[in-house]
Amino acid sequence: MKSEKLDLNTINPDTINSGNLGNIMTAMMNQPPKGSIMLDKTLLPSRGKLYPDTPLYVKKLNPLNVKNLAVINSDNINKVINNVIATSIWGGPNFDYNTIYTGDKLFLIFYLRSYTYNDMPFRLRGECTECGNICNYDFTLSNLDIQYLDDDVPEYIELGNGDRIKIAFSTIATENAVNQLKNRQDVSIEINPELLELATYVKSVNDNDLSLFKAYEYITELDAMSFSEFANTISKYLFCVKPEAKFKCPKCGEDIYLPMPFVSSFFLPTITR
């Protein structure tokens, strides 16, 4: 998180009294930002499994975050979300927000909205596909439809062709690499976005680390049987938030799923007191 106000009260008085500016600055940088709380990482779609063992802190959305989220559209969505994460998540003085996993990003946005507004319900209206009942539903964080990484991730996936693939999971840094590759002028072959996404899961093959482009080439050159095996195995370890809310129809008890719109009134709710 950037542009934090320095809070001298949280620093050991001995450090301050020492008058050593370097020590004081180091002590400051090791402090979680003022007003932040520790995130329970098991709430994340990844269950926090892939992160280092150090705590992550979250801070309420600031007015600039809220203003940006309220005007989100398909062109700016990634930039806005990454910016919100950069300013609201802190994991220590050397923390790089680019290490946040792609599958956790959307959850963090919903979580931050919930934390900022004390999980204020957001009203949705929907129809039950089973019995046709139309009614209002109040969305809170617990209604979010989350696909968790509950299985332990194996160190390697072994394919029938004998290849041992070490798998990686996409982070914000990976997304940036994907966008760069898509825009590279010197790549003359046509890049298939789905295959490129699959390539992001390949860290190494038979202990040879592959660049994203090499991983893409590897995926495109697999025989169909091995490709299918890899794609199916990976699909077991996907984690994400679907921008959908899950409710039970009060009339027939059937599960109903309603799309969660990213609209201004969700991020700038009417506050009544």
Residues 55-74 that bind Zn ion (CB under 5 A): none
Residue 128 found at the interface with Zn ion (CB under 5 A): yes
For CA atoms 5, 7, 11, 13, give the dihedral sign.
positive
Query: Cα separation of 225 and 249, whole Å?
Result: 42
DSSP 207-265: TEE--HHHHHHHHHHS-HHHHHHHHHHHHTT--EEEEEEEEE-TTT--EEEEE----HH
Comparison of 137 and 139: residue with beta carbon closer to Zn ion: 137
Neighbours of 237 (CB within 10 A): 18
Residue 130 found at the interface with Zn ion (CB under 5 A): yes
Pick the stretch among 9-17, 102-110, 237-245, 254-262 that binds Zn ion (CB under 5 A): 254-262
Q: Is residue 259 within 8 Å of residue 145, measured between CB atoms?
A: no
Comparison of 90 and 137: residue with beta carbon closer to Zn ion: 137
Question: Which helix (H) or strand (E) element contains residue 164?
Answer: strand 164-167
Pick the stretch among 9-17, 122-130, 224-232, 259-267 that binds Zn ion (CB under 5 A): 122-130
Pick the stretch among 1-9, 132-140, 181-189, 225-233 that binds Zn ion (CB under 5 A): 132-140
Comparison of 132 and 154: residue with beta carbon closer to Zn ion: 132
What is the smallest separation between the CB atom of 142 and Zn ion, expressed in angstroms?
20
Neighbours of 100 (CB within 10 A): 23
Query: Cα separation of 262 and 72, whole Å?
Result: 7
Residue 251 found at the interface with Zn ion (CB under 5 A): yes
Comparison of 151 and 254: residue with beta carbon closer to Zn ion: 254
Residue 226 found at the interface with Zn ion (CB under 5 A): no
Residue 249 found at the interface with Zn ion (CB under 5 A): yes
Residue 137 found at the interface with Zn ion (CB under 5 A): no
Comparison of 93 and 250: residue with beta carbon closer to Zn ion: 250
Q: Give every strand in the sheet of 89-90, ordered side by side.
A: 37-38, 57-58, 89-90
Residue 131 found at the interface with Zn ion (CB under 5 A): yes
Comparison of 44 and 256: residue with beta carbon closer to Zn ion: 256
List the one residue from 25, 29, 252, 263 that touches Zn ion (CB under 5 A): 252
**185: Cβ contacts below 8 Å, ≥ 6 apart:** none
Residues 97-116 that bind Zn ion (CB under 5 A): none
What is the smallest separation between the CB atom of 36 and Zn ion, expressed in angstroms?
42
Q: Is residue 241 within 8 Å of residue 144, measured between CB atoms?
A: yes
Tokens matching residue 252: 């027939």
What is the smallest separation between the CB atom of 252 and Zn ion, expressed in angstroms?
3
What is the smallest separation between the CB atom of 257 and Zn ion, expressed in angstroms?
12
List the one residue from 23, 31, 82, 133 that touches Zn ion (CB under 5 A): 133
Cross-strand partners of 101? 171
Comparison of 40 and 127: residue with beta carbon closer to Zn ion: 127
Q: What share of the chain is helix, strand, coil (3-state, %, to 5)?
A: 40, 20, 40
Which residues sit at the interface with Zn ion, rule CB under 5 A?
128, 130-131, 133, 249, 251-252, 254
